[in-house]
Chain A
Amino acid sequence: MKLTLYAFLGIVLVALNGCTDKCKETRTFRQFTPFTLTVAQVRNGIQTEQPRTLASPGKLYTKDGFLFINEIKEGIHVIDNRNPSAPKMVSFLRIPGNGDMAIRNNILYADSYMDLVAFDIRDPQNIRELNRVKDVFPNGQFDGGYWSLNAPQEIINDQRVTYVTQTTQTNCEDGTGGCPNCAMDVWRGGGVFFNASSIQSGSAAVSTNGTGGSMARFALYDNYLYTVSQSDMQLFDIRKPSDPKQGTKVTLGWGIETIFPYKDKLFIGAQSGMHIYDNSNPEKPVRMSTFEHARVCDPVVVHEDKAYVTLRSGSACQGFTNQLEVVDISNLYNPRLLKTYPMKNPHGLGIDFPNLFICEGAYGLKTFNAADALQIDQLDHLEGFHAYDVIPLGKSLLLVGRDGFYQFDYSNPKKLRLLSKIPVQRPFPAS
Chain B
Amino acid sequence: MNMKKIGYTALWLLCCLGFPVCAQKAPFRPVFTNMTEFGISLGQVRYNVNLATENVEKRQTITAQTFNGVQLRPKLAVGGTVGIDWYTTALLMPVCAGLRYDLAQPGKKNLRVFTSLDTGYGFAWLHEDPTGYETRGGWVISPGLGFRIGRPQNANFILSLSYKRQEAEADKPLMGNDIYKHETRVYNRIAFRLGLSF
Contact = CB atoms under 8 A, between A and B. Distances in A.
A and B assemble together:
yes
Contact of A172 (B88, B103, B190): B88
Interface string B140-184: 000100000000000000000001010000111111111111111
A31 interface: yes
A172 B45 contact: yes
A13 B119 CA distance: 14
Interface stretch (B23-31, B62-70, B127-135): B127-135
B185 interface: yes
Interface in B81-98: 87-90
A25 B173 contact: no
Contact of A321 (B4, B87, B132): B132
Contacts of B44: 19-21
Contacts of A171: 45, 47-48, 55, 57
A175 B172 CA distance: 8
Interface string A319-355: 1111100000000000000000010110000000000
A316 B173 contact: yes
Nearest to A312: B174
Given A25-B172, A316-B132, A322-B132, A173 B89 contact: yes
B185 A6 contact: no
Interface majority SS on B: helix, strand, loop or mixed? strand
Contacts of A320: 131
B187 interface: yes
Contacts of B16: none
B163 A23 contact: no
B175 A185 contact: yes
Interface in A2-38: 2-3, 5-6, 9-10, 13-14, 17-32
Contacts of A319: 131
A234 to B, nearest CB: 27
A186 interface: yes
B176 A163 contact: no
Given A29-B176, A186-B176, A313-B175, A2 B4 contact: yes
B188 A21 contact: yes
A181 B131 contact: no
B182 A26 contact: yes
A321 B173 contact: yes
A344 B89 CA distance: 18
Given A1-B3, A2-B7, A319-B131, A19 B188 contact: yes
Contacts of B55: 171
A15 to B, nearest CB: 10
B14 interface: yes
Interface size class of A (residues with CB under 8 A): 35 or more
A342 B14 contact: no
Contacts of B47: 23, 169-172
Contacts of B4: 1-2
A314 interface: yes
A2 B176 contact: no
A26 B135 contact: no
Interface string B29-63: 00000000000001111111100000101010000
B170 to A, nearest CB: 6
Nearest to A184: B176
Contacts of A23: 45, 47, 183-186
A174 interface: yes
Interface size class of B (residues with CB under 8 A): 35 or more
Given A3-B6, A175-B133, A175-B135, A27 B189 contact: no
A362 B183 contact: no
A95 B164 CA distance: 58
A139 to B, nearest CB: 19
Nearest to A314: B175
Nearest to B87: A172
Nearest to B141: A13
Interface in A374-400: none
Contacts of A362: 179-180
A84 interface: no
Contacts of B48: 168-171
A145 to B, nearest CB: 9
B59 to A, nearest CB: 7
B165 A17 contact: yes
B88 to A, nearest CB: 5
B89 A172 contact: yes
Given A13-B143, A21-B188, A174 B177 contact: no
Contacts of B176: 29, 181, 183-186, 314
Contacts of B174: 185, 313-314, 345, 361
A58 B75 CA distance: 66
Contacts of B57: 171
A87 interface: no
A247 interface: no
Contact of B181 (A27, A323, A428): A27
A363 B171 contact: yes
A431 B183 contact: no
A21 B188 CA distance: 5
B15 to A, nearest CB: 11
Q: Max chain A CB contacts within 10 Å: which of B42, B103, B170, B172?
A: B172
B88 A183 contact: no
A21 B175 contact: no
Interface of B: 3-4, 6-8, 10-11, 13-14, 42-49, 55, 57, 59, 87-90, 103, 115, 129-135, 143, 163, 165, 170-190
5 closest residue pairs by CB, A with B: A2-B7, A177-B130, A183-B176, A431-B180, A30-B177
14 contacts: A3-B10, A14-B163, A19-B43, A23-B186, A25-B183, A28-B180, A28-B181, A170-B183, A175-B90, A185-B175, A316-B173, A321-B131, A323-B131, A344-B134
